[in-house]
Structure formats: structure tokens, C-alpha cells
Amino acid sequence: MRFDSHVEALLAAAVGLVNHLTPGHDGISPLQPPSGRACSSVCAQVLVSQGRHPNVTEAQGAELASYAVLLRGVFAATAAGAVDDAARQVNDLLERTGARPRLDLAADGWGLHFHGPDDGLVVGWSAGIAAALALCLGSDLAGVLGICSADPCDRVFVDGSRNGTRRFCSTRCQNRVKAAAHRRRP
């Protein structure tokens, strides 16, 4: 992938929020998103970044879960080839979060971040994620956003492979599909 580590971390957070906080199927079993303290705990695990471990309240977890549903729409539109629709959704997220580029000084030098006007946990992460998705869609990398091809899995991923041919959310789904194909052979 051609992004810096900050954008990669934001895209990984988007994948984690969607995959853990939206209903669907992981290829093995149906998934229902957690609520309450379990939701905030999942959010805290997903948002661990650069040695920081955020404390996520139940209210913040619920708000991040609502963003996760919106993020899923971006992945779904992109995977379906509806990049114009995905771009409209990302523009809505950028506006909703008030994302704005900002250079922040860190131990390793200046880095581009995308905080909203409220640098709180939810808006800060959501604005950054929206900006990272905008960077994908606004470049030749729109195709890196995908949904697992293993039926019935609907978990999302960001394709960081060199040749851009990733089709599965995990090695587990890839192995399951390969094993099924092998069993079908005469």
C-alpha cells in the first residue's frame, strides 16, 4: 500500500470498527454487534494506536458503532464499483466530523492528521477515518477497499497486497474457500 503509517492505522481502525460493530456474517456464524460495556471495550481494542490505549465510554462506543454502520456503506459501495456513491458518503462523513488537515509534531517529526473541530475521541477518530477513506477514493487506490468474497462472509478489508488481488478478509476465509474448492474436485 502507498500510505503512511498514520493513514494505514486509520484504515485499519475503519476495518476493525466495521467488522466488530456491524451485524453480518463472518463466514462461520452470524454476528451481532456488542452493546454497552462490551462495545466500548471492543472500540478501545480497535483504536489502540502508536502505544496509546484510549479509554472509551459506553456513550462513545455507541457513537462509534453508529459511525461503523456508515463506514460499512463506503466499503459496500466501493466493492460494488459504485465509487461515486462511496465518494458522496465519504464527503458526508468529512462534513459531519468537520475533518480538517493539520500538521502535528510527534517524536519522529511532523505528521499530517485530520482532527475535527472537537478533538474528542469519537470525532477525532471518525474525522481521521473519513479523511483516510477520502485519500483512497481520491486516488487510484479506491480498489483497496473490499468485502470478503467467501460466502456468506461480509467482513471488510483493505487490500495492502502488492498486486491488489486480495479477495478475503482473513486467512481463515481464504483457507475455507480453497478447501471447499478442493473437496469439489473429482
pLDDT in tens, 28-74: 899 999 999 999 999 999 998 767 789 999 999 999 999 999 999 99
HSE (side-chain half, CA atoms, 13 Å) at 69: 8
DSSP assigned state of 49: B
Q: Is the pLDDT of residue 1 over 60?
A: no
- 3-class SS of residue 90: helix
How much is the pLDDT for 4? 78
Assigned domain for 72 exists: yes
- Is residue 21 scored above 90 in pLDDT? yes
Q: Which residues pair with 112 in a beta bridge?
A: 103
Does residue 114 fall inside a structural domain? yes
127: how many CB neighbours lie within 10 A of its CB?
Answer: 26
Residue 174 belongs to some domain of the structure:
no
Rounded Cα gap, residues 117 and 167, in angstroms: 37
| Structure confidence at residue 115 as a pLDDT band (50, 70, 90) | confident
**Per-residue confidence (pLDDT) for residue 46, from 0 to 100:** 95
- Per the structure, the count of domains in the chain is 1
Whichever domain contains 61, its CATH number is 1.10.3300.10
- H/E stretch holding 69: helix 58-79
Q: Could you list the residue range(s) of the whole structural domain that residue 134 is in?
A: 5-143
> pLDDT-based confidence at 118, cuts 50/70/90?
low
Question: Would 178 be classed as within a structural domain?
Answer: no
**% residues pLDDT > 70 (the chain):** 96
Q: Which amino acid is at 99?
A: A
Specify the higher pLDDT residue, 3 or 155. Answer: 155
In a domain, 88, yes or no: yes
Has residue 46 been placed in a domain?
yes
Residue 25 in any domain: the answer is yes
Q: Which of 82-86, 98-102, 179-183 has the lowest mean pLDDT?
A: 179-183
Is 177 inside any structural domain?
Answer: no
pTM: 0.90
Q: What integer best gives the mean pLDDT of the chain?
A: 90
